[in-house]
Amino acid sequence: MSDRGCESLLARTACILLFVGTGMACFPICSSGQERQPRLDYARRNSFGILAAYSPDSSHILLGYAQKRKLVNLGISYSRRLLLDRVVDWQYDGEFLPVALESDPLTAYVNQQTSPTPITFTGRLPYSPVTCSPQSQTYSVTFNGVTYSGTQTEYCSGRQWTIGEAISPVGLEWNFLPRRKIQPLVAGHGGYMYSTHPIPVGGAGSFNFIFDIDAGFEMFRTKTRSFRAEYRYHHISNDNTANQNPGIDSGLLQVSYCFGR
């Protein structure tokens, strides 16, 4: 092999070694750069939501005693991040409900008169009962020398809807595991509700306080858009500012579509 051939082979070998060495030196740097990529948190700094909620019934869960009440809520929400780490996304959360519908059962009765002549009367009464279990009461009344006696039974029949609006300016929400697309959450809100008629009974007020405690999950389609589903313990009460205050405890199912950055 000539001297010129040896020089060419040495030059090629040096180039190959230089290329391999440079690549091996670059590999840790490139790998380190990949490890330091921004973490993929599914969490918005500001979030807006469109919500709908429904409860088909009410009962004595914790504080309320009014039975067979229904609720329908339509509104919007706003959330603002307070704290974010790898475990929890802590947010302020407020809601405004321009449509807050409440439904009360109405009262029907059966009057079975036994004296002076047996006869049965049926009809409706213009008020809502607190409970819907049938209530029977015997009576005996003398009018113009004639005694009327019998038994009257009252029970729930029919329904009356009342229009209202509500706002919950005080609220907190905790989303757990914010790096995942599906996140469990808990939340709570407090505010007030105003209705066009007293609820849930005629002796209660049109102005009521509300609060809820929630649990559910949020599913992110993208980093800025998501769907949220929650089950809420929801309470309505006038805090004894009216003559009657039976209160309403409801199990409320709420769904929301959320977006923001």
CATH number at residue 200: 2.40.160.20
Residues 71 and 21 occupy one common structural domain: no
Distance CA 148, CA 221 (A): 70
Residues 227 and 197 occupy one common structural domain: yes
* H helix or E strand, kind and range, residue 70: strand 70-84
Which range marks the domain in which residue 6 is found?
Answer: 1-37
Residues 169 and 75 occupy one common structural domain: yes
Residues 117 and 228 occupy one common structural domain: no
**How many domains does the structure of the chain reveal?**
3
Do residues 239 and 247 lie in contact, with contact meaning Cβ atoms separated by under 8 Å? no
Each residue of 118-165: pLDDT tens digit? 999 999 988 899 998 899 999 999 999 999 999 999 999 999 999 999
Neighbour tally for 89: CB within 10 Å: 25
Residues 249 and 196 occupy one common structural domain: yes
Residues 137 and 201 occupy one common structural domain: no
The last residue of one of the domains, among 138, 158, 178, is 158
Residues 113 and 190 occupy one common structural domain: no
Report helix, strand or coil for 200.
coil
Residues 115 and 218 occupy one common structural domain: no
Residues 196 and 254 occupy one common structural domain: yes
Each residue of 39-97: pLDDT tens digit? 558 999 999 999 999 999 999 999 999 999 999 999 999 999 999 999 999 999 999 99
Residues 63 and 170 occupy one common structural domain: yes
Residues 132 and 251 occupy one common structural domain: no
Residues 71 and 27 occupy one common structural domain: no
